[in-house]
Structure 1
């Protein structure tokens, strides 16, 4: 089955996975903006990865989804603070059977998207990969870990997702079609936010978690809080969630979370969608989250760039 795919947001996640699909011959259009878009239109897209470098010299890239038209799959890979605007922008991509798969970092992203797009359009997903844009038109993947998970929000079997699963696996992407996508989203969140917490508070890449036990304790504490929050929400995580998530962090020694990349670049950060979401949800459920409260307070002045700068760069 031939699928038409649009990647909304061609950064570390969308650029990498969309690029892998394009290399394999899939029909992929990238929705991007700024210097990254200009570089892709001029020089194509380049991927640097321990799983193999790639260069797609000619890609379909635009800042106007209307020029792409209706597609079968939208890989939704924007920053959490852009979700509402991006949902409105992708409306020209959506037909009666289109799946918009959320490959975002938050735990409430699908609810936000569903409120805007309605129907059965939104699909849950996770992208496990330490990657980012290192220069316009170039994506760097920092570790061998690279996997996609997705599934219908109601757990039903889905022909449209089986077709996308086949396209992804044919492209050599490690892919999982899961029945309980909510659990998968929380398990990813339980890695992502502790990793971001430790690295952003220290302004250091992932190896700080290995080299400094006291920093590792921060990550463990943050992870325990997220697991407790999931339990309070009624989300069933496996009994070894803490141990397995901490073991996975060892893959990220040479990586930086995207929040740290943005923080060091003096850009807007996803604080409200990550730590802010934890703090607000925890308050509503009566769950103590002291590590997240401290991290949220410490990083809040940088949410729109360095303190004193009115808007993000």
Structure 2
């Protein structure tokens, strides 16, 4: 397949490199020193599953430099989604389809404001990976899963072709992939967990082990996720009433030192995806007249850090 990866960070860089090694024609859209390193040396993945490298000169600086592609995988930070979606229209008009592996439930809403609905497939990924230094991605653990599907609950030729590409990339214990017949529900299920993990680890400034151990922070974690379940149900998504309890039990299986990308961004003074995580829960709940006090509190606590290190008078 001809695949473009828009955003060559931990998610896009990892999956894009695995797809490239499997023989697909992969082009990364990157910037800055990361772009320079990929152009010079390729993109290296360091993983417990082995080391992999995408070829040199496999990156461009902008979407406008892409040639014809079958699939665009969007993996930029959420605040860049509007800009990226607008730039993707020419590629979509030439026949490309788009899958976002970004966080949250707002991502595809944004994409479909700029692109035909049928061009946007739903997607979610499960991985812990980050840029260690320009040109190098570190993969934590062995989890590396992609789930995607058409919102029309069909299996289009593009979805089947991408599944085959992922299966080829997992020949040596690599990417686990599947097509979902209810991708919207799956994206919301991930959102429930993601909001709980990101909100608690970032607001408390501790990994999940500390959060789940203390009785009061454990209740906070569960309540944050329960509020997301309520908002999802009000949005028409079929989420089980006890799904927050299910995710709390899942949190007990995670490595004690696991944290979240938002916690990592806070620690490094970077901009936060807060408006699309706990802040996004508040926004959706407000539209429907639902009270989400736990997520509101997290959004308020972290608000000064939303754009990075808070300004001081």
TM-score range for the pair, normalised by the shorter chain length: over 0.9
Question: Aligned to 2:48, which of 47, 50, 63?
Answer: 50
What SS is found at the alignment partner of 1:279?
A: helix
Question: Aligned to 2:254, which of 230, 251, 254?
Answer: 251
Residues 70-116 of structure 1 deviation map (CA, whole Å, 9 limit, x = unaligned): 21010111111111111123334334431100111121211111111
What CA RMSD, in Å, does the superposition of the two structures yield over aligned residues? 1.9
- Name whichever of 197-206 and 78-87 sits farther off: 197-206
Do the aligned partners of residues 36 and 270 (structure 1) sit closer, same or farther apart at CA in structure 2, a change above 3 Å counting? same
Question: Aligned to 1:101, which of 85, 99, 102?
Answer: 99
Matching residue of 1:79: 77
Contact 1:207-1:253 at 8 Å conserved across structures: yes
Contact 1:24-1:171 at 8 Å conserved across structures: yes
Contact 2:68-2:94 at 8 Å conserved across structures: no
Matching residue of 1:242: 244
Matching residue of 1:226: 228
Contact 1:132-1:140 at 8 Å conserved across structures: yes
What SS is found at the alignment partner of 2:254?
A: helix
- 1:99, 1:197 → 2: CA distance? 32
What SS is found at the alignment partner of 1:130?
A: strand
Q: What is the count of residue pairs matched by the alignment?
A: 308
| Structure 2 portions without partners, runs of 5+ | none
CA drift at 1:119: 4.6
Query: TM-score, length-normalised on structure 2?
Result: 0.92
Do the aligned partners of residues 79 and 273 (structure 1) sit closer, same or farther apart at CA in structure 2, a change above 3 Å counting? same
Do the aligned partners of residues 302 and 156 (structure 1) sit closer, same or farther apart at CA in structure 2, a change above 3 Å counting? same
Query: TM-score, length-normalised on structure 1?
Result: 0.92
Matched, 1:212 2:222: no
- 1:136, 1:39 → 2: CA distance? 6
Superposition pairs for residues 1-313 of structure 1, below 5 Å?
3-58=1-56, 60-172=58-170, 173-238=175-240, 241-249=243-251, 250-308=253-311
| Structure 1 portions without partners, runs of 5+ | none
- 1:246, 1:105 → 2: CA distance? 19
Do the aligned partners of residues 39 and 253 (structure 1) sit closer, same or farther apart at CA in structure 2, a change above 3 Å counting? farther
